[in-house]
Structure 1
Amino acid sequence: MSIQAHALSDIEPIYLRSEYKVNPVIDIENPRLSWELISKEYNQIQVAYQIIVASSPELIEQNKADVWDSGKVLSNSTNQIEYKGNKLESARKYYWRVRSWDKSKKAGKWSKIATWEMGLFYKAEWKADWIGFNLDSLNRNTDYHLPPAPYFRKETELKKTIKSARLYITSLGLHEFYINGKRIGQDYFIPGWTDYNKRVYYQVYDVTNKLLEGKNAFGAVLSYGWYAGYLGYALLVKSPQVRAFYGDTPLLKAQIIVEYQNGEKETITTDGTWKTIDGPLRESDILNGETYDARMEWKGWNMSSFDDREWKSAKVYPDNKGRKLQVYPGNPV
């Protein structure tokens, strides 16, 4: 339905947020929407609002709401307005905007367009395996147990023109991920600390411009983090298990969903075909720091055509079926 906007008031919604974030990835079935208001008039207030949500930028630019139109709602609320439209779909991007009515009951102009993107609602949508490589036997520290960090790699050929691609990634421990030699994301200490027995957080990245038509190389480095490293919290709760509080081997779970221009999709996942080995990161621990031996670097290990014949096959580990996978709720570090 086309909605004609007549901007008779200068009241304007700004700083649009979904679940407290600007243009986030979320996995909430009914996200809460918020905004702030600006006006040149003193003591201005909002007496009503209208939210529209669309499935494409073309529709929202025309103020056409094919997902949700709240209609005119008599309310001064601008915070935590619960979405009440059509059922949202996993891995889908949504576009929204809002307008307000002022104290004279005049409508203001529509806000700028904001977005939110859905993560994966259901655990069954994760096709990737948990993979790992136990390197406990290579510990050389006589005071603490600090084994090397495992490295992982995989090459895949994409034979069609790429339209879009998303990386969904998590780990039990900490990780850095690479595509064709480029690190993905700028955040650290990901996926974030949680009670790994109940849930594990994941991140989503747009990697469309990182992939190539042809050969692609994927790489990852795992560290022990809060999951398998030394944990101050263990001392706080007086646990005799100070290291490997949740598990002894860091694990990686990642999948790249590629959509081609012809509409076909392909998913690259972590599984037993990935290769792994130890490398220059000889010790890696949140409390005890890192030891890096540059002599053991694998030059070009995260690029295509690297000779990985010395590398071993990654081990697939069973999933904890009761553990949830959730989008990281905080801001990146």
Structure 2
Amino acid sequence: MNPSNFRPLLAVVMLALPFRTTLLFADDSERASVSVQGLRCEYLSNPLGIDVQKPRLSWRLDPAANLRAQSAYRVLVASTPSILQHDQGDLWDSGRVASAQSTWVEYGGKALHSGQQAYWKVRVWSDAGKSSPWSAQAAWSMGLLQSSDWHSKWIGEQRPDGTAGGTPLPSPWLRKTFTLVQKPAKAVAYVNSLGYYELYINGRRVDDYVFSPAVSDYSKRNLYVTHEIADFLVPGKNVVALWLGRGWCVKGHPGVIHDGPLVRAQLEISFGNGSTAEVATDEKWRIHESPITPLGRGTAFGDYGGERYDAGLELPGWNQVDLDDSGWQTAAVFEPASALTAAQMVEPNRLMETIKVARVEAYPQGGWVIDMGKNFTGWLEIKLPR
């Protein structure tokens, strides 16, 4: 070997040796303490409104702890954060369970009811018998578990006289004003939509979801999404508003007997003094056409359609409390095809990326071809000259 090549190699080995020696000979006192992280319930982080009555719990061990294996665990589930902080589980205390299982650990406590909140944490023991500190708290809430828990009606837009069946109707705005005597301690909105929706309280969008709820086969199930809305409500007059979109709720698709969109929703409101209130969709809600009208049939069989946006129909403040909606129509009540109503048990769709246009060309038959450079699910933002 050439000595000039040998010296750098020797230097590298000598520098690396102390580091490797530390790893090989470190005792337990020098290792990071065992810790538990990444708590999930039914694969989700702190999910709202689940409908699995015996949820499955999972966690991860901190890889920095240099832990070979988990030998046991203990799970606590409590009805309030304060009870859990005192290391008590009034809903479930698994006790120390000798098991390496850290995924899909089935809840084994008291029966859970609709709307119930649960808070939980876990600790584990290493293969050497060393216990971890308690994990940080995590939580989940139950959705509406029985069909009788739904007190709301399916509502939407009645097809105007003289409008042929199958003709796309404008995507409707819906709203309802109500009064609260005090600021609520807790408030939850359950929205069950055939087609897509956006939910607003007092003019504010309550989430960053898009294309919500997730796609489902309406002949088998329709999905609802749960929202915590207490921070959006105020003492006095309030308004809840929904902007619906057709999505895949098109007559001819399995399970669709009315051209959509349709929605049923209810707000469950609790106050600090123990009293409650409920706001539910019914024929008293007000409805108005929005600037968006679908184009084409919008079927999954090749006629995907599009949208027409009429800026002349814009109505500033349509979802705010001080709008006078006395001139709006009242919503129509519908009875969709019977199917299972289930909680959406997947992460919601969110805006993840803004794509710039790659190419714009005039189309010989008229119009323009806008090439985004990739396939995507989303929408366009176009600035037009005044």
Asked whether the two chains share a fold, i.e. TM above 0.5, the reply is yes
Shift, 1:148, TM fit: 1.3
Q: 2 CA distance for matches of 1:43 and 1:119?
A: 37
The residue aligned with 2:341 is: 325
Measured on the aligned residues, the alpha-carbon RMSD in Å equals: 2.3
Q: Which has the larger radius of gyration?
A: 2
Name the residue aligned to 1:109: 133
**Match for residue 217 of structure 2?**
195
Residues 1:293 and 2:310 are matched in the alignment: yes
Q: Secondary structure at the match of 1:225?
A: coil
Distance 1:269 1:280 in 2: 25
* Letter matched to residue 199 of structure 2: F
5+ unaligned residues in a row in structure 2: which ranges?
1-30, 299-303, 350-386
Partner residue in 2 for 1:265: 276
- Pairs within 5 Å for 1:153-164: 153-164=175-186
Tell me if structure 1 keeps the 8 A contact 2:41–2:56.
yes
For residues 245-295 of structure 1, give each alpha carbon's deviation from its aligned partner in whole angstroms, at most 9, with x where no partner exists: 553132111111111121100000000110112131133676322211111
Q: Match of 1:5? A: none
Alignment CA distance shift 1:245-1:129 (3 Å): closer
Cα gap change, 1:136 to 1:65, in 2 (>3 Å): same
- The one of the two structures with greater contact order (alpha-carbon pairs below 8 A, sep at least 6) is 1
Aligned residue type for 2:339: R
Letter paired with 2:237:
K
Tell me the CA shift for residue 42 of structure 1. 3.7
1:18 to 29, 41, 48: 41
For residues 87-236 of structure 1, the aligned pairs below 5 Å read 87-135=111-159, 145-228=167-250
- Cα distance in 2 for partners of 1:137, 1:292 equals 23
Equivalent in the alignment of 2:321: 304
Worse overlay, 164-173 or 309-318: 309-318
Match of 2:83 in 1: 59
Q: 1:43 to 1:12 in 2, by over 3 A?
A: closer
The TM-score with structure 1 as length reference comes to 0.87
Q: Against the structure 1 CA distance between its residues 311 and 110, is the aligned structure 2 distance closer, same or farther, given a 3 Å change threshold?
A: same
Cα offset, 1:198, TM superposition: 2.4
Q: CA deviation at 1:298?
A: 2.0
User: Which digits, 9 at most, give the CA deviation of each residue in 1:26-62, with x for residues without a partner?
Assistant: 1111000001102545452111111111111001111
- C-alpha separation in 2, matches of 1:39 and 1:89: 36
Asked if the contact 1:135/1:150 (under 8 Å) is kept, the reply is no
* Structure 1: gaps (5+ residues): 1-7, 230-240
Q: Which residue of 2 aligns with 1:233?
A: none
Shift of 1:137: 6.4
Q: How many Å separate the matches in 2 of 1:139 and 1:157?
A: 37
Query: Measured at CA, do residues 172 and 210 of structure 1 come closer, stay the same or move farther in structure 2, by a change above 3 Å?
Result: same
* CA distance in 2 between partners of 1:21 and 1:317 (Å): 33
Aligned to 2:84, the other structure's residue is in SS state helix
Q: Are the aligned partners of 1:224 and 1:284 in contact in 2 as well (CA < 8 Å)?
A: no
| Cα separation, partners in 2 of 1:157 and 1:301, compared to 1, 3 Å | same
**Counterpart-to-counterpart distance in 2, 1:298 and 1:244:** 33
- In the comparison of the two structures, how many residue pairs are matched? 311
CA distance in 1, matches of 2:131, 2:67: 16
Whether the 8 Å contact between 2:218 and 2:256 is mirrored in structure 1 is no
- Secondary structure at the aligned position of 2:249 is classed as helix
Match of 2:362 in 1: none
Separation in structure 2 between the aligned mates of residue 279 and residue 138 of structure 1, nearest angstrom: 20
Amino acid at match of 2:41: S
Contact 2:182–2:234 (CA<8 Å) still a contact in 1? no
For residue 126 of structure 2, what is the amino acid of its counterpart?
D
* TM-score normalised to structure 2 length: 0.75
Higher strand share: 1
Task: Give per-residue Cα distances to partners, 1:161-209, cap 9 Å, x unaligned.
Answer: 3211111101111111211111121111111211212221111111111
Give the direction of change, closer, same or farther, for the CA distance of 1:134–1:101 in structure 2 (3 Å limit).
same
Output the amino acid matched with 2:40: R
